[in-house]
C-alpha cells in the first residue's frame, strides 16, 4: 500500500468512521482507468468496435466508461489521436454532469487545463453556444489548446488570464461557470505519487485561500439565474464544504442546489463527495444558482475581429477543400485566419490564445490549411477524403508522419479519417499523400 501522510490518515479516519478500513483497502488496488466518448466526432458503436478492451458504463456520466487495468497506453490509440475519446478517470466527469450544460448556453470553465471538463462541456453543447476555457498558467493553457483542437471543437475561446481580470471584464456574461479549483490533490493520491509528496496541512490551507478568491471571481462572471459548479479532487473539508459555506454566507444571492449525481454520496447540505470505494478517485462537487434579481441583463459589445487581408484567397481555398458554404464570421490574427465562434464578446486584453477554428496559415502570398480545420470538419463536408480502419497499417504510418500510397485520382488537399473519424490531412499528388500530421503529435513507434 502507498505510504500516506499520517495527519491525512487521522483526518480521514475521523471523517469516515467504520468505512475507514474500506477506504484504506482501495489504496492496495490499481487506479480505475476510464475514457470519455466525444460525440462531436464519434459514436459509441464506433468506439466499442475499435477499442481493443471491453468498456463498462460509468455512473458519473453517460459519456464515460471504465476499462480493464491491462488496457495499455490508450493515448497511443489512433482514435485518441483523432479526438474520438478523452482519457479520463470516470469520477472526474461528475462536475460537468452536475453543471448539466444545455445547447446554446455560454459557459466559462475558469480553471480549465488540461481540458477534460472543457471538452466534456463542448460535447454537450454540440457546437452551439460558446465555451470559454481559461487557464492562468501559460504552459498548461497550451496543453488545453491542443486538446480543444484534437477534439474538433469550434465554438471555444481559449485564454490565459487572471480569473479576477477575466471575470470583471465579462461580468454577468455567462449562463454557467465551472470552477474546478486547484487543490491539494488528496483524491489523486492513489494515482499520483507527486501529490503525496507535495501534500501538507499548510498546503491545504493555502489552497483554500486561493479557492475562495477564485470563487469570488466566478460569481462576478455569472448572470442572474445562472448556475455555478465548484469542484475539487480533494477530501479536505476546508477546501470543499467550508469553502462553499463561506461563499454562501458572503453571497446570499446564491443558493445551493442538489447536484443530481447518482455516483458518490451526499455530503453536508446538498453537496456531493466521491471516494475511491465509490468507483473513481476522489472528488467533491457542489452546484449553486445565482438568484434572478429582475435587473436588465448587461449588454456586451461584440468582438470585432481584425479584417482578413486575403479573404478572397481564403474563400477560394475553402471551396477547394469543403463542400459546405464559406463561413461568414472570420478574422485574422498574425499569420492565421480563424473561423470565429458566434456570441463572442469583446475580449481585448484577456489573453486570448485562440478563438474558434484555426483554419488557414498565411505563407507569403499563399494560404495553406491548418490541422484544426480538418479535426473540426465533418467527414462528409470534405471534397477529398481517405478513410482507414483504426488498425490498418496506413493508419500507423500516417501517425508516424510517413507518406502514403493512395489512388492516382486524388489531387490536392485531402482529409484523412479512421473509422470515419477525422484525424488530419495531407496533400495528394501522383498517387502519393504528403503527410501534414503535426510533428509534435506523431507516434514514434
CA 245 to chain centre: 28
Count of alpha carbons within 13 Å of 66, Cβ hemisphere only? Answer: 16
Q: Is 233 a catalytic residue?
A: yes
C-alpha cell at 96: 460537468
Q: Please, where are the H alpha helices in 33-115?
A: 44-50, 78-81, 94-99
Radius of gyration of the chain, Cα coordinates, nearest whole angstrom: 23
Residues 6+ apart with CB under 8 A from 401: 435, 437, 439, 442
Q: Is the backbone of residue 172 left (phi > 0), alpha (psi -120 to 50) or beta?
A: left
Q: Which residue has the cell 490518515?
A: 9
Strand partners, 283: 274
**CB-count burial class (<10 Å; 0-12, 13-18, 19+) for 212:** middle
The SS3 of residue 119 is: helix
Q: Is the backbone of residue 115 left (phi > 0), alpha (psi -120 to 50) or beta?
A: left
- Are the CB atoms for 289 and 254 separated by under 8 Å? yes
Count of alpha carbons within 13 Å of 412, Cβ hemisphere only? Answer: 11
* Best CA proximity match to 434, nearest among 445, 443, 425: 425
- Are the CB atoms for 152 and 375 separated by under 8 Å? yes
Q: Please, where are the H alpha helices in 126-276?
A: 138-150, 163-169, 193-198, 201-221, 241-250
C-alpha cell at 44: 459509441
Residues 6+ apart with CB under 8 A from 356: 154, 155, 156, 157, 338, 339, 340, 341, 344
- Are the CB atoms for 221 and 172 separated by under 8 Å? yes
Residue of 161, 167, 233, 370 with catalytic role: 233
List residues with catalytic annotation: 233
Amino acid at each position: 500500500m502507498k505510504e500516506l501522510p499520517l495527519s491525512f490518515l487521522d483526518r480521514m479516519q475521523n471523517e469516515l468512521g467504520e468505512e475507514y478500513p474500506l477506504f484504506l483497502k482501495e489504496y492496495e488496488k490499481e487506479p480505475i482507468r476510464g475514457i470519455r466518448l466525444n460525440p462531436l466526432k464519434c459514436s459509441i458503436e464506433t468506439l466499442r468496435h475499435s477499442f481493443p478492451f471491453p468498456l463498462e458504463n460509468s455512473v458519473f456520466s453517460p459519456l464515460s466508461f471504465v476499462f480493464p487495468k491491462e488496457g495499455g497506453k490508450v493515448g497511443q490509440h489512433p482514435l485518441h489521436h483523432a479526438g474520438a475519446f478523452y482519457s479520463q478517470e470516470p469520477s472526474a466527469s461528475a462536475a460537468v454532469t452536475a453543471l448539466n450544460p444545455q445547447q446554446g448556453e455560454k459557459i466559462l470553465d475558469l480553471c480549465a487545463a488540461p481540458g477534460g471538463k472543457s471538452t466534456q462541456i463542448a460535447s454537450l453543447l454540440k457546437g452551439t453556444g460558446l465555451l470559454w476555457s481559461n487557464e492562468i498558467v501559460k504552459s498548461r493553457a497550451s496543453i488545453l489548446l491542443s486538446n480543444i483542437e484534437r477534439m474538433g471543437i469550434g465554438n471555444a475561446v481559449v485564454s490565459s488570464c487572471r480569473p479576477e481580470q477575466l471575470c470583471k471584464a465579462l461580468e454577468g456574461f455567462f449562463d454557467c461557470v465551472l470552477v474546478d479549483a486547484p487543490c491539494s490533490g488528496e483524491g489523486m493520491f492513489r494515482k499520483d505519487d507527486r501529490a503525496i509528496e507535495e501534500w501538507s496541512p499548510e498546503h491545504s490551507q493555502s489552497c483554500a485561500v486561493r479557492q475562495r478568491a477564485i470563487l469570488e471571481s466566478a460569481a462576478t462572471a455569472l448572470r442572474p439565474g445562472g448556475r455555478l459548479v465548484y469542484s475539487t479532487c480533494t477530501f479536505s473539508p476546508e477546501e470543499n464544504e467550508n469553502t462553499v459555506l463561506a461563499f454562501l454566507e458572503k453571497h446570499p444571492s446564491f443558493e445551493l442546489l442538489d447536484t443530481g449525481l447518482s455516483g458518490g454520496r451526499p455530503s453536508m447540505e446538498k453537496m456531493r463527495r466521491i471516494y475511491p470505494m465509490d468507483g473513481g478517485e476522489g472528488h467533491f462537487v457542489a452546484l449553486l444558482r445565482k438568484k434572478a434579481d429582475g435587473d436588465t441583463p448587461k449588454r456586451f459589445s461584440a468582438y470585432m475581429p481584425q479584417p482578413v487581408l486575403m479573404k478572397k484567397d481564403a474563400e477560394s481555398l475553402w471551396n477547394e477543400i469543403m463542400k459546405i458554404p464559406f463561413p461568414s464570421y472570420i478574422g485574422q490574427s498574425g499569420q492565421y485566419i480563424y473561423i470565429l465562434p458566434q456570441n463572442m464578446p469583446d475580449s481585448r486584453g484577456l489573453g486570448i490564445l485562440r478563438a474558434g477554428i484555426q483554419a488557414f496559415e498565411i505563407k507569403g502570398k499563399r494560404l495553406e490549411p491548418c490541422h484544426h480545420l480538418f479535426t473540426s470538419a465533418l467527414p462528409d463536408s470534405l471534397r477529398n477524403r481517405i478513410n482507414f480502419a483504426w488498425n490498418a497499417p496506413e493508419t500507423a504510418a500516417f501517425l508516424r508522419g510517413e507518406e502514403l500510397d493512395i489512388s492516382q485520382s486524388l489531387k490536392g488537399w485531402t482529409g484523412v479519417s479512421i473509422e470515419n473519424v477525422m484525424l488530419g490531412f495531407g496533400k495528394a499528388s501522383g498517387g502519393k499523400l504528403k503527410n501534414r500530421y503535426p510533428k509534435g503529435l506523431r507516434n514514434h513507434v
